[in-house]
Every structure is written in structure tokens, then in C-alpha cells.
Amino acid sequence: MAAQTGARVAVAEDAPLGGTCVNVGCIPKKLYSFAAHYAEAFEEAHGYGWNVPKPSLDWQLLKANRAAEISRLNSIYGGLLTGAGVKLLHGRAKVVGPHEVAVTSQGETQTYRAKTILVATGGRPLAADVPGGELAISSDQVFDLPQFPRRLLVVGGGYIACEFASIFRGLGAEVTQLYRGEQVLRGFDADVRHFVAAEMRKKGVDLRIGSGVESLVQTPDGILACLKDGSTVLADTVLYATGRHPNTAGLGLAEIGVALSANGAVSVDAQYRSSVPHVMAIGDVTDRVQLTPVALAEAMAVVDQLFGDGRRAVDYALIPTAVFTHPSIGTIGLSEEKARAQYGDIRIFRSDFRALKHTLSGSSERTLMKLVVDVASDRVVGLHMVGADAGEIIQGFAVAMRGGATKALFDSTLGIHPTMAEEFVTMRVPVPG
């Protein structure tokens, strides 16, 4: 986008194009989530009259097909860059002067000068910080495991941990998930957290709350995780998903005076400028909102600021997001807890039901829908769902909420029958309290 304004632009990258999302994040994760759902679909088909032989997963084929698709996307990104006139520099970049960046590739280093330097290097998974931690993998390696892990131990309680626990359970692994906190998905609405945890357990994830790893030990039978309570878990693979940190190590930023936070994030102002004004940063490397669409929006704001009229800004107030657990989560706006703190007087509308599909499928999966309403303005300030295709359903409601939709507007909107989504416009009675 910057190059299309006529600016001279170069991008330095030492990995396949597309960043975390395309290569080891959103895209492959969603593809594996699709794969995991097929196992459920084969089983549920019996209730609809289909006699399906017992299926088996070809892990190697799934990996190969995923790799081919990611490679296709890498090529598309390359074409978009070069087609716009961007100079693509394949190599590891380091800021070596106020306006100088050295790019090293295959042992050779070349230095480039730029009026503005934009840091968009994303984040990296935190490594396992226990004795034997080198035996664990991160989400970066989980897509390409040589063999499918029949026994998977997932350590962590955030969305990445919960997603992979759900996915690999769906693919057929025995999954144990450990989280040291009181409930998974800290920061999400409490009803959502408890509901998802219950649904994950129903699907066979051995989810243990208030549980942590003391050490990992390699044994002939697998990796033995010794837990803080004295118990053990034996696994073929241990996935640590305990957070991510900004990817700024070795970039030379501190050396030229760029202020970094305690965890290495680039500190930026409202215009994404660091303490060195011509060095800017966006996305996960700033450790604010770690979502791909947010990074893209920030990038567009930077382009407009540098080469446009400077009026474009990112509104962080209502950011829709999805978590691809099984069942999935869709959410926008405030949790009940945050809404009470901000508005005081709120009304809660909540519905928990078995979807029509599962009246014949035999599945016990349930769906949760919840609206949080500010009484004074009647505005819907929080909307949450746990259920099939939650992300697809939430996207449209995000438009309505950004437009200031009230509960009265929801109530006056006709539902599409029979769908799960219609529940959001048919909830009439607030829950007590």
C-alpha cells in the first residue's frame, strides 16, 4: 500500500512471507481445525442416516496439503509486494544507525538507508521454563510433527493452548491440558470461560486447572511430565503455549535509542512512533492487541500518516475476535465483569441450548449466547457466543455494535429461522441479578 502511493519501499524478511498468521498461526491452525471437525461430522452423520465406515487420519497427507497451501499463499504475498514495486530483501535485518539497516543473507551483509524504518517483526512463543524444557515444542513446531502424537500434553490456558488442545483431541489424540490459573481463557467473559471448559471436557480433553509442571524427563515410553502436585503425565509430545513475547532480540533497536518495555516490546505513541521518531512499530511487536487484523489496520494508519492525509486511525474499542476451540468462541465488546466496572447498571441476556443439528446428531454439544446491555443507553456493549461457526456469526453483529446498536434495535430485527444466530435477536428476558 505504501509503494502504491509512489514511495520507495523495501521489505526485509528472513522467513517465508506472511508472518506468523500465514505460516504458523491463523491459517494452518484453521485448516487443522477443519480437519478435526471432520471426525465429529463422520460420527454425527449416523444420526442422519449415513452409514460411514470408521475413518482414519492420514497425518502425513494433512501436513503435505497444508504445506502446499501455505506455499501458495507465500507466493501470492511475494507477487503482491513485487507487483506494487516493493524491493524484497531476503535476509536478517538489523538497525545499525539512525537511518541504516543492515541485511545479512548467506553470510553477506548489505546496508540500506531509509527515511523511515517500520518494525513489524511480530512475536515468538515463550520457551518452556522448567528443567527439561528443551523436550517441549511450541506452536511454531506443532504443525509439522514427524508423527502424529497419540498422547499430547498441552501446557497453558490461553486461546492458543485451548485451540490446540481442541484440535488434536478432534484429530484423535489423547489430550491433557494443564493450566496453573483458576480457569482457562483469562480476560474473556466468565460465562464463556466456564462454558468452553465444560464443553472441552465433554469432548474428551483432560483439562486440569490449578496444575503446573515441575519438570520434563525423557523416558523410553515418552516424555514424563512431573507435576507440582506430585502426579505425572506421560506424553509423546509436550506443547508449551504459555504466551508470546515481542520479537525484538538482535534487531539493534536499543542500541540506537529505541525504548523497549520490560518484555522487549517497542514502546510507541498514538502515531506508532517509537522514542526515535523515524522508527515506527506496529502489530505484535508493540504487545498491545495481538491480532492480525489489528496489525493490518495499524499498517494502513501508518501508510496514511506517512503518505496520505493522516486522518486514518484505529479504534481499539470494539474488536471482534474468534477462538477456534471446539466449540468455537466469538466475542466483541466488554465481558460482563468489565461492563459492570465501566457502566455499573447493566442487563444480561443469556441463552444456553442444544442446537437443532444435534437433536439428531447424537452430540451433547451445547451453544451459549450472551448479550451485555448498558441500561442507561440501551446499547449492546458486549456480545459473546460459544458454538459452531461463532466467528462467522459474530462478524455481522460487530458491524451493528460499531454503529451503536441498542437492545431495542436487536429486538426489532427479524431472525432467520431456524438458525442459531436468530437467538441474538430473540432473547427478551434478562437473567436475574
DSSP-derived 3-state class of residue 404: coil
Burial class of residue 145 (count of CB atoms within 10 Å of its CB; 0-12, 13-18, 19+): middle
Q: Write out pLDDT tens, residues 127-148.
A: 999 999 999 999 999 999 999 9
Q: Whole-angstrom Cα distance, residue 311 to residue 309?
A: 6
Superfamily of domain 133-242: FAD/NAD(P)-binding domain (3.50.50.60)
Distance CA 104, CA 265 (A): 23
pLDDT tens digit sequence for 198-224:
999 999 999 999 999 999 999 999 999
pLDDT reported for residue 167: 98
pLDDT given at position 362: 96
pLDDT of residue 110: 97
Residue type, 385: M
Class of domain 3-123+245-307: alpha beta
What Rg, from alpha-carbon coordinates, does the chain have? Answer: 24
Q: What is the pLDDT of residues 221-260, one digit of tens each?
A: 999 999 999 999 999 999 999 999 999 999 999 999 999 9
The domain segmentation of the chain, as residue ranges, is 3-123+245-307, 133-242, 321-425
Fold agreement between 3-123+245-307 and 133-242? yes
Confidence of residue 56 (pLDDT cuts 50, 70, 90): very high
Question: Does residue 10 surpass a pLDDT of 80?
Answer: yes
339-362 pLDDT per residue, tens: 999 999 999 999 999 999 999 999
Q: Where is 22: in which H helix or E strand?
A: helix 19-24
| pLDDT the model gives residue 433 | 77
pLDDT given for residue 373 in this prediction: 98
Determine the average pLDDT of the residues in 290-300.
97
Q: Does domain 321-425 have CATH number 1.10.10.60?
A: no
- In the prediction, which pLDDT does 98 show? 84
How much is the pTM?
A: 0.96
Closest CA to 320 of 335, 330, 312, 328: 330
**Residue positions annotated with a catalytic role:** 417
